[in-house]
Amino acid sequence: MHIHILGICGTFMGSLAQLAKQQGHHVTGSDAKVYPPMSDQLEKVGISFFDSFKPDQLVPRPDLVVVGNALSRGNPCVEAMLDLNLDYVSGPEWLGSNILANRHVIAVSGTHGKTTTASMLVAILCRAGLDPGYLIGGVPIKSETSADMGGGQYFVVEADEYDCAFFDKRSKFIHYRSNTLVINNIEFDHADIFPDLAAIETQFHHLLRTLPSNVDIIYPDNDEVIQSLIDRGCWSRTHSYSGEGCNWQYRLIKENMSSFEVRHSGGPNSISSGFVNWDQFGLHNVRNAMSAIIAAHQVGISVEDSCAALSNFSGVMRRMQIIFQKNKFTLYDDFAHHPTAIATTLGGLRARVGGAKIITVIEPGSATMRRGVHGKTLAASLEESDQVFWYMNTEVLWDATELMSFADVNFEVFYELEDLIKSCISAATTDVHMVIMSNTGFQGLQKRLLSQLSS
C-alpha cells in the first residue's frame, strides 16, 4: 500500500512513517518545516518527502493519506486530497487500528516527561529481553530512532492529549486502548486548542471512561489535578507513588538526584527494593523513573531489574543532551516547552553543578509560550540561571524585557540569530553550563554553535 503522510516531519508523524515502512508499506510524505532529528531519521530509513505542500505530490494517487494535526482546511494538499476523494485518516487512528490493536499497550501521558518516561520503559523492557515496539516523541540516545515495531507483545507509546486532525478533535490517546496508562502530571498547555485546564481535564476524563477495569493506571500521589480526575470517575486499577501510605516510594540518596532507592510494599511480608545510580539529574527524572518502574512491574519485571536498567539509561536526544564539552564548558540541548519543565530542568542542573555559571538560551517555540499565556510564571522558571539570552522570533506576541521584570536574573534580548550566536560564543568560557531551550529547530542554532565551538 502507498501511504502518503502530510506533516511527516513532526515527531509523531515521522515516527508513524517509520512504523508503516517497517510493515512493508511504500511511504512518502511532505512538510513545510523540515529539521533534525526527524528529517535525518526519515532519510536514513529511505523515506522520501517533499519540503512543501504542493498538490502535485498526490499524483500518482496514494492508497491512503494520513493527515497530521498541524494541517487544516485551506492547505493545498488537504484541499486536493478532498477534491480527489482520496481515502484519509488521522495518525492516531491509523496507529491504533494498524499497530496497537493486537499488542499490550503501555501508554505514557501527561504534560511533562512523556518522552523520557517512555524511553525509560523501552530501556527496561529491552534489558528484560521483551523486544518491545515503541513510538515516542524523541530519540533515545542508545537506540537512535524514535519508533520500532519490535517483535514482542508489548508496545510503548507516548500518549499525547493534543487533538488528532482537523476532522477529529479528540485527544490522540483516545485511539490507543491502553492496557497500562501512566499519567505523569496535568497542567495547562496547548493554548492553541484548549481554552483552559478544565478542557484538558475533560479529555483525560473521557480517556478514563473508555478504559476497562483490568487496566493499570499509574500516577504521582501528590498531584491534586490527577487526584481530582480519578475522583471524577475511574473504573480501572490505580497505583500511586511517593506519598505517605503509598505502596511505591522513593528515597533520595544524593541531593542532586543522581542516586535514589525505590521501595515497593506488596503486603505485610512482601517488600522489594532497588537502587538507581545514573547520569540523569533532577527530581522530575526521579519521578519519571518511578512511573517507568511501576509500569514495568505490572508486566512482570522486578524492581531490582528495572533499577539496574535505569542505572545504564543514557537519556534522550534534546532532553538536556550534552552536545559539546571542552575546557570545562558544557553545552546542552533541551526540548523546552513549558515553565514547569524549564524550572525543574534548571533546578536539577543547579543541584548538579553547584555554583558554576548557568546561561539559558531560550526561544519561545510552543504555541502556548508564543502567546504569552504563562506570563510571569515563565520568567520565574528561569531563576536558577545566572544569565538568560532570549531569542524572539517574529511569531512571539509579547515583550521579553517586560516579562523579565518579574525575575531577578540578568538577561539580554535578541531579534537576530547572528547577534545571538556571537554572544553565545563570547560567553562560552570555563565553568559555564549553557542550555539551549526550544521545542523547534531554533533555525539551526545548535549546529552553527557546534561548528564555531569546534573550530
- Flag whether 315 is in a domain: no
- Flag whether 30 is in a domain: yes
- The CATH code of the domain that includes 86 is 3.40.50.720
- Flag whether 137 is in a domain: yes
252 near 240, Cβ under 8 Å?
Answer: no
Q: Which residues pair with 11 in a beta bridge?
A: none
User: Do both 198 and 255 map to the same domain?
Assistant: yes
pLDDT reported for residue 231 = 96
The answer, yes or no, to whether residue 449 has pLDDT greater than 90, is yes
Alpha-carbon distance of 324 to 331, in angstroms, equals 5
Give Cβ neighbours of residue 315 (< 8 Å, ≥ 6 apart). 116, 119, 140, 141, 279, 280, 321
- Summarised one tens digit per residue, pLDDT across range 341-392 is 899 899 989 988 999 999 999 998 777 777 777 778 888 899 999 999 999 8
The answer, yes or no, to whether residue 407 has pLDDT greater than 80, is yes
pLDDT reported for residue 341 = 85
Alpha-carbon distance of 238 to 19, in angstroms, equals 31
Alpha-carbon distance of 310 to 306, in angstroms, equals 6
- The CATH code of the domain that includes 243 is 3.40.1190.10
User: Do both 171 and 287 map to the same domain?
Assistant: yes
Long-range contact pairs involving 248-251 (C-beta distance under 8 Å, separation at least 24): 248/290, 248/293, 248/294, 250/286, 250/289, 250/290
Q: What is the DSSP secondary structure assignment for residue 272, as one 8-state letter?
A: E
User: Do both 134 and 222 map to the same domain?
Assistant: yes
pLDDT reported for residue 273 = 93
Q: What are phi and psi of 124, to 5 degrees?
A: -65, -45
Alpha-carbon distance of 3 to 74, in angstroms, equals 21
The answer, yes or no, to whether residue 239 has pLDDT greater than 70, is yes
The answer, yes or no, to whether residue 301 has pLDDT greater than 90, is yes
The answer, yes or no, to whether residue 317 has pLDDT greater than 90, is no
User: Do both 104 and 87 map to the same domain?
Assistant: no
| Lowest mean pLDDT across 13-22, 286-295, 299-308, 439-448 | 439-448
Residue 351, all three cell numbers = 543541584
Final residue belonging to a domain, choices 265, 284, 310: 310
pLDDT reported for residue 422 = 96
User: Do both 333 and 426 map to the same domain?
Assistant: yes
Go through the chain and tell me how many residues it has.
Answer: 455
- Flag whether 106 is in a domain: yes
pLDDT reported for residue 151 = 95
For strands 133-135 and 154-158, give the pairing.
parallel
Residue for grid cell 564539552: 325
- The CATH code of the domain that includes 415 is 3.90.190.20
Residue for grid cell 491502553: 178
H runs (alpha helix) in 299-405 = 303-310, 339-353, 367-370, 376-380, 400-403
Final residue belonging to a domain, choices 285, 310, 335: 310
pLDDT reported for residue 138 = 81
Q: How confident is the model at residue 397 (pLDDT cuts 50, 70, 90)?
A: confident
User: Do both 106 and 87 map to the same domain?
Assistant: no
Q: Structural domain of residue 17, as residue ranges?
A: 2-91
What share of the chain in percent tops pLDDT 70?
98
- How many C-beta neighbours within 10 Å does residue 354 have? 7
156 near 106, Cβ under 8 Å?
Answer: yes
- Flag whether 354 is in a domain: yes
User: Do both 344 and 403 map to the same domain?
Assistant: yes
Local structure of 84: helix, strand or coil: coil
Give Cβ neighbours of residue 183 (< 8 Å, ≥ 6 apart). 109, 110, 204, 217, 218, 219, 226, 229
The answer, yes or no, to whether residue 35 has pLDDT greater than 70, is no
pLDDT reported for residue 93 = 98
User: Do both 193 and 242 map to the same domain?
Assistant: yes
Final residue belonging to a domain, choices 65, 91, 117: 91
User: Do both 326 and 400 map to the same domain?
Assistant: yes
User: Do both 75 and 152 map to the same domain?
Assistant: no
Section 14-22 average pLDDT: 96
Count of domains observed in the chain: 3
User: Do both 130 and 239 map to the same domain?
Assistant: yes
329 near 449, Cβ under 8 Å?
Answer: no
- Flag whether 316 is in a domain: no
- Summarised one tens digit per residue, pLDDT across range 52-84 is 999 999 999 999 999 999 999 999 999 999 999
Give Cβ neighbours of residue 180 (< 8 Å, ≥ 6 apart). 104, 105, 106, 107, 215, 216, 218, 295, 298, 299
Sign of the CA dihedral with 14 first, then 20, 24, and 27 last: negative
- Summarised one tens digit per residue, pLDDT across range 148-182 is 999 999 999 999 999 999 999 999 999 999 999 99
Closest to 203 (Cα-Cα) out of 236, 168, 156 = 168
User: Do both 134 and 283 map to the same domain?
Assistant: yes
- Flag whether 73 is in a domain: yes
Is pTM beyond 0.85? Reply is yes
Sheet hosting strand 329-334, strand order edge to edge: 321-326, 329-334, 432-437, 357-362, 387-391, 410-414
The answer, yes or no, to whether residue 243 has pLDDT greater than 80, is no
